[in-house]
Amino acid sequence: MPVTADTAFRWNSVSKMHTAIAAMQLVEEGALDLHEPITTYVPQIKLSGEHDASELTLHQCLAHTAALPDLWYSECTSDLDDWWTGWEPELLVEPDVVFNYSSSNTSLAGYVLEEVVGKPYVDLMAQQVLEPAGMEGATFSPEAVQGSYAIGYSNGEYFAPNLYDCPFLRPAGWLHASVVDLAYLAEQFLDDGGAILTADSVAAMADQVDTRHALRPRHGYGQFNWVHHGVPIVGHSGSGVGQTSYWMYAPDKGFAVALAANSMHFDPWQVAERAADLFLDCSSDWDEPDLATDPSSWGVYVGTYEDPVNVGTIEVTLDENLLHIRFLDGSNVQRRLYQYGLDEFFFEYDDTRDRIRFFAGEEGDIRYLVNEYYVGARQGR
């Protein structure tokens, strides 16, 4: 069956901004305060380790500074209440110290929405976000997908939407919708929030924290923002269970792209930004920012970093202008670090690349080595 503009795809992490939309609506109504302790709304959740759940806020969850460890399952049976009253995670570092993207953050935000509104997540999202935005074919329930839908594909495996569900992660990645549905959502944002948000909420969703990511330097609530050839862009990507997607809009240009594919081997980001090049008046003489630094300056990263939660001791060394990383409690193999951004590097193992970022502390010196699954605090400084 051929794909049409009405074919439903799974948008994976593009879902996160929809959860943020619902949260901002409750903020506008006075039902939520993003900076209140999250236990104000869900006193039943607990953490293990040295931190207490009262240290967490919705702002941190939506901006990915809560330091909750990342989790991703294609299948599970736990709903939001089961999961968050049973799981007692240990934070990777104290909250509000580093940006660390994690689907657990958005899952917890979705649980707060359920508890405050008093409705199941799927229902409240349909009533508060999807229907008012004109997304008539969209749903967060795989069982409710109707009409033409895409079957994901990856490495010889096929993924039908109704065969894969994990209820407690729906807020982070389970939106099923067509590109037309996502185009209607883009119209709302291009209209300063339209029927679903105020202009202030749209601005808040676009920009909150520094990410230290080379290509996506800022993050708001469920959205990244960056500059493409001189044009400010806001958006998010999605990838999982055989499907990839991209959604972005240019606030100053009245332009948006919604793109989805049922293959893990397709890069929607390049296609989306190529569309921006073709349709927008992008500056031909725009100079891309120089993301390289002199290797002789990399001594600021050298040191021993401790991650008591996941990987243990991490050693970073510099030898003849080559930066290396070694996990002393793991493989204990020295691997070269290659610069990807100003404070962002990657290393190679098993035919894959793993990215790390270095974050400064309050005094400006490098204090943390950060990956989605671990955070090492620098020792002896």
| Confidence at residue 284, expressed as pLDDT on a 0 to 100 scale | 62
Question: Both 239 and 352 in a single domain?
Answer: no
- Mean per-residue pLDDT, 129-142: 97
Domain boundary among 254, 279, 304: 279
Are residue 270 and residue 307 in the same domain, yes or no? no
Predicted pLDDT of residue 161: 78
Q: Are residues 272 and 357 in the same domain?
A: no
Structural domain contains residue 246 = yes
SS3 123: helix
Residue 285 has pLDDT above 70, yes or no: no
pLDDT tens string 186-236? 999 999 999 999 999 999 999 999 998 888 899 999 999 999 888 999 999
The confidence score (pLDDT) of residue 214 equals 80
Residues 155 and 69 in one domain: yes
In 3D, which of 115, 111, 105, 120 has the Cα closest to residue 16? 105
Distance CA 371, CA 378 (A): 14
How many CB atoms are closer than 10 A to CB 286?
12
Q: Which residues pair with 209 in a beta bridge?
A: 219
Does 328 lie in the same domain as 268? no
Are residue 83 and residue 141 in the same domain, yes or no? yes
Domain that includes residue 130, residue range: 9-279
DSSP run (H or E) holding 232? strand 231-240
Of the candidates 279, 303, 318, which is a domain's last residue? Answer: 279
256 shares its domain with 209: yes
Indicate whether 256 and 347 sit together in one domain.
no
Tens digits of residue pLDDT in 107-131: 999 999 999 999 999 999 999 999 9
DSSP states of 299-366? GGG-EEEEETTTTEEEEEEEETTEEEEEETTTT---EEEEEEETTEEEEEETTEEEEEEEEE-TTSSE
pLDDT in the model for residue 159? 84
Q: Are residues 128 and 241 in the same domain?
A: yes
Q: How many domains is the chain partitioned into structurally?
A: 2
- For 306-352, what is each residue's pLDDT tens digit? 999 889 999 999 999 999 999 999 889 999 999 988 899 999 988 88
If you average pLDDT over every residue of the chain, what do you get?
94
DSSP-based three-state secondary structure for 209: strand
Among 293, 78, 86, CA closest to 167? 78
275 and 301 housed in the same domain: no
Q: Which of 217, 252, 279 is the last residue of a domain?
A: 279
What pLDDT score does 381 carry?
A: 66
**Average pLDDT estimate for 96-109:** 96
On whether residue 286 sits in a domain, the answer given is no
